[in-house]
Chains A and B, each alone.
Chain A
Amino acid sequence: MKELSRAQIRDLMGEVLKNQGKALPADDAADLREVGFRSLDFSELALRVEDATGEELNFDAPGLRRIATVGDVLDFLVELQRQ
């Protein structure tokens, strides 16, 4: 199975934000609320990862509630690809 790297996911996250006129900070500790990255943006990012890997990613909402920073998003999706 093809797997996207953390850096590749970061690029996709930047594209999701750019489409909304927002910028992805370089700092992984940046707060998602300040960035303006919402849960539907996370869904869009996950679907872009699916599109790139050809593997469907399904997950429960509680996992998402722990996500607060840019780094959390990247870690979550990297880990999700390995499950």
Chain B
Amino acid sequence: MSDPTTPARPVPPSSVVLVSGGSRGLGLAIVTDLLDSGLKVAAFARTVTPELAKLADAHPERTHVGSVDVTDLAAAQAFVRAAEERLGPIDGLVNNAAVGQDSLHVHTATADIARIIETNLTAPLQLTRLAVRRMLAQGRRGRIVNITSICAQRGFPGLVAYSATKGGMDAATRSLARELGGRVLVNAVAPGFFASEMSAVLGQTQLDQIVRRTPTGQLTEPEEVVPVVRLLLRDQTNINGQVIVVDGAASI
């Protein structure tokens, strides 16, 4: 079976978006922004924080939240089914859930390497498969945004396994965009280091060094990444299979 190149219909803006890891940090900021933009949002995380619960209470008709470990595929499937029953078919996915790392590779336990890979690479690939299967089975189009990291493109000590998973997701982003033939737009957003919990893995000396080398003179804030995620989910841009770096040019 060979596919001729035919002009495809544009992928419509997402209206029901599934966000993994939506309880704090960037994930919470994404959920907040999408709700403020009038979208319906299904968000899960290992723990539903008071902040996420408050959002759900404020928008009960447009929000579905739950406590799900992204590595628990059965639980994720059940969550997606329940979310679709409540909000309608999911046509947007933000793979945001991830665990960080703060250990030199030679001192990272084998079990911890496996856990990082399972959470940051295997689980989002499985969740993506689940979401795309539902989109295709119902003849729908959709959009996927993978939250990766500047670590996928630049080296940082103490983040070897983490970087490998983020690089893996960048690569998967490109292949998925090809494979899904414009029916589902797939992109990645790679933030620089946040002055937040994920950046706690870097020492103050490293953070100061990154700030000095950043033309904008500041670390990235979640609020600066959110508009890019929204653009990829909502706007008609023909951006597909790309990794968009948001780091104030620290990495150039």
Interface, chain A (partner B; CB < 8 A): 16, 19, 32-33, 36, 38-40, 42-44, 47-48, 50-51, 64-65, 67-68
Contact = CB atoms under 8 A, between A and B. Distances in A.
A78 to B, nearest CB: 16
8 smallest A-B Cβ distances: which pairs? A47-B137, A67-B1, A38-B3, A44-B136, A19-B139, A64-B1, A40-B181, A39-B1
Contacts of A32: 1
B6 A36 contact: yes
Contact of B139 (A42, A44, A64, A67): A44
Chain B interface, >50% SS class: loop
Interface in B6-43: 6
Interface of B: 1-4, 6, 133, 136-137, 139, 180-181, 183
Contacts of B180: 40
B137 A16 contact: no
A47 B133 CA distance: 7
B108 to A, nearest CB: 33
B139 A65 contact: no
